[in-house]
Structure 1
């Protein structure tokens, strides 16, 4: 299934779920249009008739029945007000409920797709698509009542105009058709391009703001605040221009509606020539309200370009699901070309090599954050490229080098790994040498960490990511530079706790590090030499990569790891 059909399917499903509210909004919109047309038409007839009765003398005025028309006018005013309230409440409630369900579905679709696609979207771009783009889709739900309102208003207006003359009803029908056609043409010419540009520019603005906000400390440190402000101002200027163009298009559409109203009155009044003056007044005001009933169509057309661009952007963000199910592993045996036998937990494998050689790329391909290359690695004897990413991810608990944290509490960030009680959370924090730091906070586990953990130091963020990985129950623990930036004493505490956890849980370890102390824990080590022309990561096993039992062998392996990593 293609991405466009996925988005269309999600929106259709939400429209189906909200069909009762949408039908109520459509019915209320029809009632509003009919009551508005009848209210103004009847008011015109009543005022004109009363005026003529007064001019005819006291006897005519006394015989004029004003009670019934005035009562009907009051009734129509009440019905119009109540109908408008019901239409707005039902329509917007349906739209808001649909969008509230649509956002998590879109996020899930993005997160479940290829990791490269999800990770290629910046935080500002994702935010723009899940907020502004989804908000723009709101018009697709709200305007579902427009055809009913327009149809009911047009029918009632033509019927009232026909009371004066059938020709007046026909003339009004032609005038309203011309009004609608003209509105569509103006919208396609002016509103659609402006709406598309505005939707793109707001995404660019939000993306630029998010990128500069993330780099705010560096910008301040290097005195680049003015440069950053100029960057935002340039993007904001483009956004303002597109918004001004969209506003101008709305003005032209309103101007056309005024012209269409004058045209309708101009053709209806002559067509009703020969009828009583109250009926002519009724037909003229019915023509005004008949054109006015197309106001919902004008508003929908004004936002149509933004809605279409939003759909296009959402379709581009949501990947198509896999064409077919792929093979899932039955075990956790890991096979690499540089290792003579498959590795199974609780073995510990260390990956080292120069910066940029592909160590992080290798483990991200392994655990399902990137698409692996055929023949590069195996899981349980099956080529990793043949295994669905979600099946591979189930085998690994991962602490990345670049830790990403939610703007929530310590507890919120830890529970991303899996449900756990407070005792398990504290145990993970203690093993990451972070427990004492969090206990010192008045709120404890409920301590907020700020956007991306800005209230924590770099080492604390890294250790919080390590504690989160500890909470995931998986055969393999994958750590990318877990002790980088830590002082020697803290590193020793972290590694001692890691050694203890691995032993107690019989969990395997895949470690990427430039440092000797963590590499000394590994029973096997593999050097990453870079990537070949096909993008495959090139591996080599050092001569002393296999660990043998006994204290002397332990020391030999530690010495070999220090020599391989360049650390004494």
Structure 2
């Protein structure tokens, strides 16, 4: 926890202590005052006239104000501590995730990651919120025991014994009633988030093929599992609340039976006892939520164990390294096309070169195999515009800035012009600040692909990897994009590794490497793999 979080927890603990003590004193003094006033009134007018009610009334009013203000402070500061702590935890865990090498990172779906970084961490928030109330509960309970002693030492001993036993009883009840449903609820919630993310991405296909009923049925089934688990948790909460109520009544009865003082002092002890049990409700909440918190901790443990190495951003101007694909060496600045039948693994080869996944090909960068190179080194060398262009939630400019830090608007417009997307963005409602909503917002699939190309150009890496860069374009736009891209490649000296089903983009390449489908997807380079593009017409796939 940061010093700021500790400071808020300390303030919340102080406020909670003041609230607990003032609450017990308020109830106890009120009981003594009402009982004493009733007895004074019953004794006659003279006695009632001599009864001093001003000081107790003032104390009761003061304690009521103090309790209200301190409870507000406790809730304010404890929630501030929780918000800061959870924000830091989410940021730290997300930083660990993004710093991992894609080739050996945990296999975590978007829905499951969301469930852990949102749902499981939210369960931990209760730890921070309740933390200040636990010591305050102990101090409040001790105050109740001291006040109960005014009715006799026996009453104080009885109350102390019952208060000591209460946390153990609540903890055992909470474990028994909530551990299994808490685990089931966490798993069901993660599964539900995962399915929602997957089906939301495929909603167009679901509608087109009439699969909505089947999808809804599956989601309802998972939601029913979550509801059943939550219902068990709520039943456990009801049982613990009932036990606490019965325990409070039994405590009051035992204290009354063991009291030996006058009626006003007995009333003082009774209400102090009830208030002391009430102060221990923080332990009841702890017992009820502990299983859910433990389950959240268990699911987050795999993320906490990830290496905490800081993310190394890509740097510009890195010395270009040669590529080796199979037995073929490709010098920096060379432009090559990867060809082969559908299913031969061309996209897989590009993604392996970019470090997106574990390679099944023989690939080297410089004098080292790609599988042995740190991901930071790969990022310094390679920019990939993939077949499916992933975008972040944000504006067009935000998505372009992903390429590298310090990208200005002029560089963005230049990259968009090469990608033949500048005129489209100029007509967008807010230009570069236009937000890309779910599914790409105002941009079509082809436009998103060209935005991905512009982002790859802005990265300014020695090697540019393009997977179907002109897919979905009309011939005129395709020709213009190829012309501008060719000029940029020649001017910058950037190397190119291209995959395309279409013939026009292949004219960008100087060499061709053909791969074939063989067991274990190992590379095959036919003897005629080095023919120029003009001789490869119709043979790219």
The TM tier, using the shorter chain, reads over 0.9
Assess if the C-alpha contact under 8 Å between 1:143 and 1:296 holds in 2: yes
Give the one of 289, 298, 305 matched to 1:303: 289
1:390 alignment partner, one of 346, 364, 376 = 376
SS of the aligned residue for 1:378 comes to strand
Alpha-carbon displacement from aligned partner over 1:413-445 (angstroms, at most 9, x marks no partner): 111112322221111111111112222223222
Q: How does 1:33-112 map to 2 (within 5 A)?
A: 33-112=20-99
Alignment-derived partner of residue 126 in structure 1: 113
1:338 aligns with 2:321: no
Matches within 5 A, 1:124-203: 124-203=111-190
1:561 is aligned to: 536
Per-residue deviation at 1:101? 2.4
Distance in 1 between residues matched to 2:169 and 2:93, nearest whole Å: 36
Matched, 1:439 2:414: no
The Cα shift of 1:47 comes to: 0.8
Instruction: Please state how far the C-alpha of 1:543 moved relative to its aligned partner.
Output: 3.5
1:356 is matched with which residue?
Answer: 343
Residue equivalent to 2:399: 413
Do structure 1's residue 423 and structure 2's residue 407 form an aligned pair? no
Distance apart, 1:67 and its partner CA: 1.5
Q: 1:331 Cα deviation (Å)?
A: 4.1
Cα distance, 1:563 vs structure 2: 4.9
Tell me the distance in 1 between the aligned counterparts of 2:38 and 2:415: 87
Q: Secondary structure at the match of 1:394?
A: helix
| CA apart distance, 1:150 | 1.4
Is the 1:349–1:525 Cα contact (8 Å) retained in structure 2?
A: yes
**How far apart, CA to CA, are the structure 2 residues paired with 1:183 and 1:119?**
37
Give the structure 2 partner of residue 509 of structure 1: 496
CA distance in 2, matches of 1:185, 1:531: 60
Deviation at 1:495, TM superposition (A): 1.4
Deviation at 1:259, TM superposition (A): 1.3
Change (3 A) 1:482 1:349: same
Instruction: Indicate if the aligned counterparts of 2:26 and 2:60 stay in contact, CA closer than 8 A.
Output: yes
The residue that corresponds to 1:551 in the other structure is: none
Matches of 1:115 and 1:142, distance apart in 2: 36
Partner of 1:376: 362
- What SS is found at the alignment partner of 1:401? coil
Cα pair 2:185 2:230 within 8 Å, conserved: yes
Is the 1:523–1:545 Cα contact (8 Å) retained in structure 2? no
* 2:354 alignment counterpart: 367
| Contact 2:343–2:517 (CA under 8 A) maintained in structure 1 | yes
Report the equivalent of 2:523: 539
Give unpaired runs (5+ residues) of structure 1: 1-12, 547-555
Match of 1:463 among 423, 443, 450: 450
1-structure distance, mates of 2:151, 2:114: 56
> Cα deviation per residue 1:304-344 (whole Å; 9 max; x = unaligned)?
22222222222234552189999x99843234253443x33
CA, structure 1 residues 474+119, in 2 after alignment: closer, same or farther (shift >3 Å)? Answer: farther
Inter-partner Cα distance in structure 2 for 1:318 and 1:493: 49
TM-score between both structures, scaled by the size of structure 2: 0.93
In structure 2, what is the equivalent of residue 275 of structure 1? 261
Partners of 2:177 and 2:514 lie apart in 1 by: 60
Q: 1:560 to 1:194 in 2, by over 3 A?
A: same
User: Residues 532 and 331 from structure 1, CA distance in 2 versus in 1: closer, same or farther, beyond 3 angstroms?
Assistant: farther
1:168-247 map, 5 Å: 168-247=155-234
Mean Cα deviation higher: 105-114 or 251-260: 105-114
SS in 2 for 1:510: strand
Q: Which stretch shows the higher mean deviation, 203-212 or 469-478?
A: 203-212
- Sort the Cα spacing of 1:315 and 1:209 in 2 relative to 1 into closer, same or farther, 3 A: same
1:239–1:38: structure 2 CA closer, same or farther, 3 Å change rule? same
Deviates more, 1:104-113 or 1:519-528: 519-528
**Bigger mean CA offset, 78-87 vs 293-302:** 293-302
Distance in 1, Cα, partners of 2:157 & 2:304: 49
Tell whether the 8 Å contact from 1:357 to 1:528 is kept in structure 2 after alignment. Answer: yes
1:7 alignment partner in structure 2:
none
SS of residue matched to 2:496: strand
Summarize the Cα distance change of 1:333–1:301 in structure 2 as closer, same or farther, 3 Å threshold: same
Give the drift of 1:121. Answer: 2.8
Q: TM-score scaled to structure 1, two decimals?
A: 0.89
Q: Distance in 2 between matches of 1:64 and 1:220?
A: 80
Structure 2 counterpart SS, 1:565: coil
Shift in CA distance, 69/392, structure 1 to aligned 2, threshold 3 Å? same
Identify if the C-alpha distance between structure 1 residues 297 and 431 changes in structure 2 by more than 3 Å, giving closer, same or farther.
Answer: same
Greater shift, 350-359 or 394-403, is seen at 350-359
1:561 and 1:235 mapped to 2: Cα distance? 52
CA distance in 1: counterparts of 2:70 and 2:446, whole angstroms: 60
Q: What does the per-residue CA deviation read over 1:500-559, in whole Å, with 9 as the maximum and x for residues that have no partner?
A: 1111111111112233222232223222334654xxx5223343545xxxxxxxxx6112
- Distance of aligned partners of 1:463 and 1:118 in 2 relative to their CA distance in 1, 3 Å threshold: farther
CA–CA distance in 2 between the matches of 1:122 and 1:471?
29
Gaps of 5+ in 2: none
> Is this contact kept in 1: 2:252–2:273, CA < 8 A?
yes
Deviation above 6 Å: which 4+ runs of structure 1?
322-326
Quote the offset at 1:227 in angstroms. 2.0
SS at match of 1:468: helix
Q: What is the aligned-residue RMSD (CA, Å)?
A: 2.4
